[in-house]
């Protein structure tokens, strides 16, 4: 499905955009989704522990799948034979596939890998066999998966990378983007470019301008770390990139899922996000909430761990104002019981809640942008 992005309204006080992504299918039918948007992640062609219907009930727009994982299993050949990823996984909304780059650089971080101009040599996590991923290969795999949005294969530098390393890296990423674009061969699939450059203003500017010159269907901001210590760098990376991205193309901050980071990035002009955190937190018994403080009134707590004994007799829902299936039908006491027993349905229920929480948070941001009160929304959010 070909993608168009339109800004409906730019917030008066910030760079935040209320927008819509319109997908047009071969037969002319369209699907429209508003931004800011949070995209749930279905790494291995399944949003962990959820049926497509359960995912759909959280009102998502696009969902993600991971090229690296699907390349190894079940292989792009199997998915192509199945009629593409949508058919294979029974998901008929839009799908974005990443390039596999992040996994090659991060999952294999303690293993020997060899980064050359041509691509990256590394070993399969599953069976140890040698693998070689190149910009061309990444795009060819994504073409076969037949996702709606493919990502360019970029180098994801380590968090410790210095200015000199990053400078070389963004130049290589530009050459890789060019190579990927050249072999891209799926007219129904949109291709996004990725801006790198760490927290450096000149590198981000250079990377953004050069990437935009290549004319992609959308632009991502990559290379932001997701730990508490790097939040300033994350916001800088966004702030230094968005001024050079075209107004009529969607902007995607990759791998970010904390509400405060969504908010700060939307303020700086980002439209869409993805993160594995809602489902990962769920599997460990954590529910996303707002406005909860510990009894000591210490630092704000934005998660509840349902395994905690204090929930054993708590017959309230996770969130009293939450409209998700979990909060409409189940108590904290039941979730506590399921998580204590290791029952899979506990992870399912918490995943539904956490995904819906982030999607609802985006809906709230959209309202605030529409009404030009995003800074007030931030004040309110930080106070709770």
Q: Between β-strands 17-24 and 2-10, what pairing exists: parallel, antiparallel or unpaired?
A: antiparallel
Question: Residue 89 or 368: which CB sits closer to a second copy?
Answer: 89
* Distance (Å, whole) CA 362 – CA 57: 15
Q: Measuring CA to CA, which residue among 154, 146, 64 is closest to residue 100? A: 154
CB 51 → a second copy: shortest distance, Å? 7
Q: Which two tokens stand for residue 141?
A: 């795999």
Among 174, 282, 322, 347, binds a second copy (CB under 8 A): 347
User: What is the DSSP-derived secondary structure letter of residue 371?
Assistant: T
CA 230-232-235 angle, to 5 degrees, is: 110
- Interaction of residue 376 with a second copy, rule CB under 8 A: no
Among 340, 370, 371, 381, binds a second copy (CB under 8 A): 340
Q: 74: buried, middle or exposed (CB in 10 Å: 19+, 13-18, 0-12)?
A: middle
Helix, strand or coil, per DSSP, at residue 307: coil
Tell me if 22 sits within 8 A of 237, measured CB to CB: no
- Interaction of residue 45 with a second copy, rule CB under 8 A: yes
- Interaction of residue 308 with a second copy, rule CB under 8 A: no
Annotated active-site residue in 114, 146, 274, 372: 274
Sequential DSSP letters for 188-228: TSEEEEEE--TT-HHHHHHHHHHHHHT--SEEEE-----SG
Question: Residue 149 or 352: which CB sits closer to a second copy?
Answer: 352
146 an active-site residue?
Answer: no
Helix, strand or coil, per DSSP, at residue 372: coil
The contact pattern for a second copy, residues 66-105, with x = CB under 8 A and - = no contact, is ---x---xx---x--xx-----xxx---------------
- Interaction of residue 381 with a second copy, rule CB under 8 A: no
Counting residues that bind a second copy (by CB under 8 A) gives: 35
- Interaction of residue 4 with a second copy, rule CB under 8 A: no
98 an active-site residue?
Answer: yes
* Site residues, a second copy (CB under 8 A): 44-46, 48-51, 54, 69, 73-74, 78, 81-82, 88-90, 312-313, 315, 329-331, 333-334, 336-338, 340-341, 343-345, 347-348
Instruction: Report the catalytic residues.
Output: 98, 274
């Amino acid at each position: 499905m070909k993608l168009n992005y339109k800004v409906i309204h730019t917030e008066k006080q910030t760079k935040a955009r209320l927008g819509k992504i319109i997908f047009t299918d071969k037969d002319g039918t369209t699907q429209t989704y508003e931004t800011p948007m949070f995209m749930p992640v279905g790494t291995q062609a399944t949003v962990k522990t959820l049926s497509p219907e359960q995912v759909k009930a959280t009102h998502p727009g696009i969902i993600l799948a991971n090229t690296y994982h699907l390349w190894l299993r079940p292989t792009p050949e199997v998915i192509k034979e199945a009629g593409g990823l949508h058919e294979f996984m029974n998901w008929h909304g839009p799908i974005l596939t990443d390039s596999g780059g992040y996994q090659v650089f991060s999952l294999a971080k303690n293993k020997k890998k060899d980064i050359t101009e041509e691509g990256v040599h590394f070993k399969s996590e599953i069976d140890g066999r040698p693998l070689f991923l190149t910009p061309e290969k990444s795009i060819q795999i994504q073409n076969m998966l037949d996702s709606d949005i493919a990502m360019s294969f970029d180098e994801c530098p380590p968090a410790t990378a210095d200015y000199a390393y990053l400078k070389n890296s963004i130049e290589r990423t530009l050459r890789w983007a060019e190579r990927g674009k050249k072999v891209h061969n799926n007219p129904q699939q949109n291709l996004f470019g990725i801006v790198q450059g760490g927290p450096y203003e000149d590198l981000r500017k250079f990377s953004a301008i050069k990437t935009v010159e290549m004319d992609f269907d959308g632009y991502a901001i990559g290379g932001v770390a997701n730990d508490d210590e790097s939040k300033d760098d994350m916001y800088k990376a966004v702030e230094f990139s968005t001024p050079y991205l075209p107004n009529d193309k969607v902007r995607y901050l990759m791998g970010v899922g904390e509400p405060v980071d969504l908010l700060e990035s939307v303020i700086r002009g980002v439209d869409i996000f993805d993160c594995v955190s809602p489902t990962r937190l769920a599997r460990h018994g954590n529910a996303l909430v707002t406005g909860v403080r510990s009894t000591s009134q210490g630092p704000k707590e934005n998660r509840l761990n349902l395994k905690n004994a204090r929930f054993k007799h708590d017959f309230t829902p996770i969130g009293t104002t939450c409209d998700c299936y979990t909060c409409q039908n189940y108590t904290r006491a039941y979730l506590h019981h399921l998580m204590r027993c290791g029952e899979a349905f506990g992870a399912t229920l918490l995943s539904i809640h956490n995904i819906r929480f982030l999607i609802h948070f985006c809906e709230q941001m959209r309202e605030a942008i529409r009404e030009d009160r995003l800074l007030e929304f931030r004040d309110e959010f930080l106070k709770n």
